[in-house]
Amino acid sequence: MIKKYVLISFILITMLVSACAPAAVQPTIQAPTSPPAAAPTQAPPPQPQPTAPTAARLLRLAHSWGPLKIDPAIGSDFAAQSMMVNLYDTLLFPTTDGKLNPWVADSFDVSSDGLTYTFHLKKGIKFHDGTELKASDVVFSMNRDLTIGQGMAYMFVNRVQSTKALDDYTVEFTINKPYALFPQTLVRLWIMNEKVVKANTQAEGQYGENGDYGTTWLLTHDAGSGPYKVKEFQLEEYMLMEKNNDWWAKDKFVPNAPDLVRVIPIPEAATLRTLMANRELEISDQWQSADTFRSLEKIEGVKIATFDAVTMLYIYLNTKKPPLDDVHFRRAVAYAFDYETAANIDWPGTKVSRAPVPMGVPGANPNLTPYEHSVDKAKAELAQSKYANELDKYPVTFYWNTDVPDTQKYALLFQSSLAEAGINVKIEGTPWLTLTQLASKAETSPDAWPLYLNADLPEAGALLYQRYDSSTQGTFFQGEWLGDKYFDEQIALALSEQDQATRFQMYADLQKYIMDLSPSLYVFDQYQKHAYQDYLDWPATKGTVYPVMGYNQFFAFIGVNPH
510 with 381, same domain: the answer is yes
240 with 353, same domain: the answer is no
With respect to residue 144, please indicate whether it lies within any of the assigned structural domains: yes
- High-pLDDT (> 70) share of the chain, %: 90
Q: Which residue has the higher pLDDT, 494 or 43?
A: 494
Q: What is the CATH number of the domain that holds 130?
A: 3.90.76.10
Mean pLDDT of 371-377: 97
Distance CA 265, CA 248 (A): 30
With contact defined as beta carbons under 8 Å apart, do 17 and 256 qualify?
yes
Q: Which residues of 8-39 are buried (b: 16+ CB within 10 A; e: fewer)?
A: eeeeebebeebeeeeeeeeeeeeeeeeeeeee
pTM score, whole prediction: 0.79
Dihedral angle at the C-alpha atoms of 527, 531, 535, 539, nearest 10 degrees?
-20
Contacts of 53 (CB under 8 A, 6+ apart): none
pLDDT value at residue 510: 98
With respect to residue 80, please indicate whether it lies within any of the assigned structural domains: no
With respect to residue 373, please indicate whether it lies within any of the assigned structural domains: yes
Convert the pLDDT of each residue in 413-429 to its tens digit.
999 999 999 999 999 99
| Three-state DSSP state, 111 | strand
With respect to residue 13, please indicate whether it lies within any of the assigned structural domains: no
pLDDT value at residue 53: 54
426 with 465, same domain: the answer is yes
Final residue of a structural domain among 197, 213, 230: 197
First-last CA distance in the chain: 58
Mean pLDDT of 478-501: 94
Q: What is the CATH number of the domain that holds 495?
A: 3.10.105.10
319 with 467, same domain: the answer is yes
With respect to residue 23, please indicate whether it lies within any of the assigned structural domains: no
350 with 482, same domain: the answer is yes
475 with 552, same domain: the answer is no
375 with 433, same domain: the answer is yes
Q: What is the CATH number of the domain that holds 554?
A: 3.40.190.10
Mean pLDDT of 514-536: 96
Distance CA 223, CA 88 (A): 8
The half-sphere exposure of 84 on its side-chain side, counting CA atoms within 13 A, is 29
300 with 329, same domain: the answer is no
- Ordered DSSP codes for 226-266: SSEEEEEEETTTEEEEEE-TT-TTGGGS-TT--SEEEEEEP
511 with 556, same domain: the answer is no
pLDDT value at residue 8: 40
With respect to residue 4, please indicate whether it lies within any of the assigned structural domains: no
Convert the pLDDT of each residue in 58-73 to its tens digit.
999 999 887 889 999 9
The residue type of 333 is V
297 with 333, same domain: the answer is no
172 with 259, same domain: the answer is no
Q: Which domain range does residue 178 map to?
A: 88-197
The DSSP bridge partners found for residue 233 are: 239
With respect to residue 17, please indicate whether it lies within any of the assigned structural domains: no
Q: Which residue has the higher pLDDT, 9 or 268?
A: 268
- How many beta carbons lie within 10 A of that of residue 293, not counting itself? 19
Final residue of a structural domain among 145, 166, 197: 197
pLDDT value at residue 277: 97
- High-pLDDT (> 90) share of the chain, %: 77
Convert the pLDDT of each residue in 210-254 to its tens digit.
999 999 999 999 999 999 999 999 988 999 999 999 999 999 999
Convert the pLDDT of each residue in 121-147 to its tens digit.
999 999 999 999 999 999 999 999 999
93 with 166, same domain: the answer is yes
Final residue of a structural domain among 166, 197, 228: 197
User: Quick one: residue 291, left, alpha or beta (phi over 0 = left, psi -120 to 50 = alpha)?
Assistant: alpha
The model's confidence at residue 350, banded by pLDDT at 50, 70 and 90, is very high
Contacts of 143 (CB under 8 A, 6+ apart): 163
With respect to residue 442, please indicate whether it lies within any of the assigned structural domains: yes
Convert the pLDDT of each residue in 271-323 to its tens digit.
999 999 999 999 999 989 889 999 999 999 999 999 988 889 999 999 999 99
Per DSSP bridges, beta strands 559-560 and 2-6 are unpaired
Domain count, the chain: 3
